[in-house]
Amino acid sequence: MQNRQSMFSEPIDVPLNTVGGQAVGRFNWAGRRGHVIGKPRCSGILKSVIETLAIAGYRSIRNLALPLGRLNLITGANGTGKSNLYRALHLLADAALNTVVASLAREGGLPSTLWAGPEEIGRRVRQGEFEVEGTVRKKVISLKLGFAGEPYSYCIDLGYPPPAQAAFPLDPAIKRECIWHGPVYRRAAVLVDRRNRVVLIPGAKDEEAAILTKDLSSTDSMLASIADPHRAPEMLAVRESIRGWRFYEGFRSDQGSPARLPQIGTVTPVLCNDGSDLAAALETIVEFGDREALVRTVDDAFPGSRVQIEIHAGRFELQLRQHGLLRPLSAAELSDGTLRFLLWTAALLTPRPPELMVLNEPETSLHPDLLPALARLIAFASERTQIVAVSHAEGLIQALEATGKCQKIHLEKSCGETTVAGATVFNTPRWEWPAR
């Protein structure tokens, strides 16, 4: 087996985490485990990156504003809109990558993703006294996504394309984008404003606005298209923050899964979405991350077991040594549930935690006995990163609630509309959408 020290013999100074595009703590990877230059900001409990998530006009979500904490659990019966909320968060992240239009196209275009019900639902309709019927529309058709936090908040408003774009009628057009300071949109708090093709920085009292561009394509987000660190540093900060969000769902654990095969090993502080670099990601945690947490997590799920990585000619192979066996089990021999749990372990114990991590149904393929260990792992990870977990597994829900760190958001359906159970005007966060 190749010596681990030789794999990382040269010093590599790599950012541990970024906030607003700025590194906050770095690892000096010179083969010395745990050697940290500068105390990372993620070492303690952080203020929530996102305090409010707002969605309007997306599939079953007519108008929703959710309060978020460090660890958020989205639950609800099948068909209540959990997947729609997950996809909406993904679309919000796509704005920073300038792929929101392409993502909507994969879902069938704007007409297939808009709110499918009437503009307003009356009280007597909700009570079942009258059938749901269409009404004369009074507002413009739009799909709106946004979040509020500190120090910046952001929203994007998409609608039907202008007549000049008639050749691509299913492509949405970006009508409005805003970045502002504070939890609630106010014109006086706007830092960067986009109306159709014009992007500007509002001027102070008696000052003219500074125009950044007058000809931004209706399919391009201002976050991904404009870089002006002198006049609009907030735009770069928001863009880099959103680009760091991570989404994990549906790890493959079948016999053809790439996680079961030996792979060329490189320093891997972030597990890729398909889990193909699992062995390298676990080895990176051992060398430069929280090795003790990895040992505790594996032992918590599989008592007496430990992970080891065999290295042959630069290829990393995952093995699991279990109590009572004379030889370790290779990744190809592991059960689907065991492999999937190790994939979640590598994702959640990343040495480079993001500002937000979104997990879609992490309980899939796991035995109920593993759910308490998974819940403890998720709760531990939430001390370093904000987490949104979508689940309908009662075992995981109860285990996460037992940690005392979980904020549960239970979704329901009312006349086809996704709503939050127990939501009132007093516990729903205030949210204002910028007018077109």
DSSP 158-223: EEPPPGGGTT-TTS-EEEEEEEEESSS--GGGEEEEEETTEEEE---TT-PPEEEES---TTS-HH
> Which run of H or E residues covers position 303?
none
**Domain boundaries defined on the chain:** 52-71+79-121+137-245, 249-353
CA distance linking residue 156 with residue 238, whole number of Å: 13
Residue 276 class from Cβ within 10 Å (0-12 exposed, 13-18 middle, 19+ buried)?
middle
**Residues 269-325 pLDDT 10s:** 999 999 999 999 999 999 999 999 999 999 999 999 999 999 999 999 999 999 999
Q: What are phi and psi of 269, to 5 degrees?
A: -75, -15
Longest CA span, the chain: 79
Question: Residue 45's pLDDT is what?
Answer: 39
Mean pLDDT over each residue of the chain, to the nearest integer:
86
Local confidence band at 117 (pLDDT 50, 70, 90 cut-offs): confident
Question: Residue 137's pLDDT is what?
Answer: 67
Looking at residues 54-81, what average pLDDT do you find? 96
Provide the 10 A C-beta neighbour count for residue 129.
Answer: 9
CA distance linking residue 91 with residue 33, whole number of Å: 38
Dihedral angle, C-alpha 60, 61, 62, 67, nearest 10 °: 160
DSSP string covering 107-165: TT-HHHHB--S-S---HHHHTTSS--------S---EEEEEE-SSEEEEEEEEPPPGGG
Helices (H), 302-385: 336-348, 371-381
For residue 27, pLDDT over 50 is answered with no
Q: How many residues does the chain have?
A: 436
Local confidence band at 129 (pLDDT 50, 70, 90 cut-offs): low
Local confidence band at 171 (pLDDT 50, 70, 90 cut-offs): confident
For residue 209, pLDDT over 80 is answered with yes
CA distance linking residue 422 with residue 321, whole number of Å: 47
Residue 110 class from Cβ within 10 Å (0-12 exposed, 13-18 middle, 19+ buried)?
buried
Structure tokens at 271: 């597990």
Q: Which amino acid is at 420?
A: V
Question: Residue 237's pLDDT is what?
Answer: 92
Q: Please, are residues 368 and 395 in contact by the beta-carbon 8 Å criterion?
A: yes
In the block, residue with structure tokens 């009404």: 135
Q: Please, are residues 190 and 176 in contact by the beta-carbon 8 Å criterion?
A: no
- CA 27 to each of CA 21, 31, 33: distance values in angstroms, whole numbers, following the listed order: 17, 11, 10
Structure tokens at 421: 């159970």
**Residue 32 half-sphere exposure toward CB, CA atoms < 13 A:** 9
